[in-house]
Amino acid sequence: MSQKKYTLAEFFCGCGGTSRGFTRSGRFRVALGNDVKPEALKTFQFNHRHDDLPPATICQDIRLLDVDTIHETLKGQGIAQGDLDCMIGGPPCQGFSQLRRTEQRDKGKIVKFSGYSQLAHDPRNDLVLRYLEVAEALQPKFLVIENVPQMLNHGFQGRLGKLSELVIQMLERDLGYKVEVAVVNCADYGVPQLRERAIFIASSIGSASFPKFTHADPSKSKLLAEGRKPWVTVADAIGDLREPSLHVDELGGGPQDLYGENPSEYAQSMRTSGAFPFNHVTRSYKQSVLNIIKEMRPGQTWDAESERMRAKYARAIAKMARDKNILPEEAKLALVQTGSINPAFYKDYYWSAYSRLAWDAPALTITANANFLGSGRFSHPTEMRGITMREAARLQSFDDDFRFVTSCDDEADTARMGTGMDMIGEAVPPLLSQAIAVHLAAQLDAREESVNVSTKAKAKSGGMHAAV
């Protein structure tokens, strides 16, 4: 007996990390994806091309998107007004352009919430407010908001209070939802990455709750004894991928030997393409960058490694100064000129700059800047390079069949690393969204069963009265 598939509309969908998890749960059909970035939406469309009914897409700023258009789009997907099961999105709450409201945007507004004035007068909150307005119009049974943990402490310009508190107030008081909020570590849901996210789950069909954690820090023996698995490590995630070459990745084919032997349980679950890992491409780096990462040990910070290298250099400087009877400054200059000293290690960089991933632990947060090794711990644990798009995708829990289309003009273009890394770093890890999807589907199943039982009882009662 096949299980019912529920419906999902995703706003701020990006390349589709959230919808990938909902799709892989087997319990949801993605009906709509909305975003302002064409390349990301192209990737979203490409990865849903084989759906029984591919989702509709709208490439437009949500603040300029009226609700009538959304209703008509969902109607074309067979979803009547008020019948949407789940709406999900991660509206940025800070740092975006201050697009002012227009007549077109105001046409789509349904009500003024109790906290409207506080949100409306801080233009950084436009996207959050508009997302709630759309939710009021669509009335999904579940509403999910995903964001950075800092959202929970984000205040207002010239005002007291927190954005998260007003969001909860609007959801509960104005929209009638029951709400639960938590900061979750994606590693606790099997993602090989220490990535924290603030999640709001709002329910109109009962109490809101979160899926149970499936994994735990391996040092927490009590949690492991309770049935949780150890965190998935970098080695588990990418250890089976062979070293890539500098080449153009193509959708239609490629080298077949990029998979190594003895994949971990996690790696095996990622091998969905059946051919080879798409987007497993790297780029060339300046020699000055390679000279830095060759000295970095896996899992160490820039602070620790630069301190270690400075101590090593100090010994070399003292020895040369003593042996050649010259000043330390002269010895240092001579060692720099011969390449024995890398002056980069005398600079103060971000604490995780140029760091190598550690094989035996989850990765740190994969960001949109993962293409730039000086921006964080994005260097391969042992090889002289940064991670590939596919390795970054594995660390975000994207399966290997998910392809990142990096050009709107050429569907086969999957090798523009900057564009691809932006999509990967900004995405919701599919394993996190899959856990949420399974959890919400179980609650929707329970509601369906309750409605069916009630309907049968009423029908039986009606038959008895008719007989009398």
In the structure encoding, which two tokens stand for residue 445, read together?
């199943």
If you average pLDDT over every residue of the chain, what do you get? 86
Lowest mean pLDDT: which of 253-262, 337-346, 416-425? 253-262
Amino acid at position 299, single letter? G
**448: nearest Cα among 27, 24, 20, 18:** 27
DSSP letters for 354-397? TPBPPTTS-B----TTTT-GGGSS-B-SSSSSBPPHHHHHHHTT
**pLDDT value of residue 145:** 96
Per-residue confidence band for 116, with pLDDT thresholds at 50, 70 and 90: low
In the structure encoding, which two tokens stand for residue 198, read together?
């603030």
CATH topology of domain 6-218+429-456: Rossmann fold (3.40.50)
Res 96 pLDDT > 50: no
Other Cβ atoms within 10 Å of 60 Cβ, number: 14
**pLDDT value of residue 284:** 83
In the structure encoding, which two tokens stand for residue 132, read together?
């709630």
**pLDDT value of residue 99:** 35
In the structure encoding, which two tokens stand for residue 421, read together?
């890394």
Chain-centroid distance, C-alpha 288:
31
Contacts of 40 (CB under 8 A, 6+ apart): 13, 14, 15, 16, 422, 423, 426
SS3 content of the chain, % helix, strand, coil (to 5): 40, 15, 45
Pairing of strands 196-203, 28-35: unpaired
Alpha-carbon distances, residue 158 vs 113, 121, 200, 371 (angstroms): 20, 10, 25, 37
Backbone angles phi, psi at 87, to 5 degrees: -125, 135
**318: nearest Cα among 338, 296, 335:** 335
Q: What is the pLDDT of residues 166-210, one digit of tens each?
A: 889 999 999 999 999 999 999 999 999 999 999 999 999 999 999
Alpha-carbon distance of 54 to 32, in angstroms, equals: 9
Res 76 pLDDT > 60: yes
Q: What is the pLDDT of residues 212-247, one digit of tens each?
A: 999 999 999 999 999 999 999 999 999 999 888 665
Alpha-carbon distance of 117 to 69, in angstroms, equals: 26
Per-residue confidence band for 272, with pLDDT thresholds at 50, 70 and 90: confident
**pLDDT value of residue 371:** 83
**37: nearest Cα among 68, 70, 61, 21:** 61
The interaxial angle of helices 126-138 and 67-76, nearest 10 deg, is 50
Contacts of 450 (CB under 8 A, 6+ apart): none
Alpha-carbon distance of 126 to 113, in angstroms, equals: 14
Q: Which of 97-101, 150-154, 167-171, 357-361 tops mean pLDDT?
A: 357-361
Res 156 pLDDT > 60: no
Per-residue confidence band for 282, with pLDDT thresholds at 50, 70 and 90: confident
Task: Provide the percentage of residues in the chain whose pLDDT is more than 90.
Answer: 65
Per-residue confidence band for 299, with pLDDT thresholds at 50, 70 and 90: very high
**pLDDT value of residue 112:** 55
Asked if 176 and 120 touch (Cβ cutoff 8 Å), the reply is no
Alpha-carbon distance of 80 to 95, in angstroms, equals: 35
Alpha-carbon distance of 69 to 74, in angstroms, equals: 9
Alpha-carbon distances, residue 361 vs 213, 217, 260, 315 (angstroms): 18, 9, 20, 33
Alpha-carbon distance of 140 to 64, in angstroms, equals: 21
Asked if 191 and 232 touch (Cβ cutoff 8 Å), the reply is yes
Asked if 265 and 233 touch (Cβ cutoff 8 Å), the reply is no
Task: State mean pLDDT over 78-86.
Answer: 97
Alpha-carbon distance of 205 to 6, in angstroms, equals: 14
Pairing of strands 6-11, 28-35: parallel
Q: What is the maximum span of the chain, computed from C-alpha positions, in angstroms?
A: 117
Domain edges within the chain: 6-218+429-456, 258-301+352-415
Res 104 pLDDT > 70: no
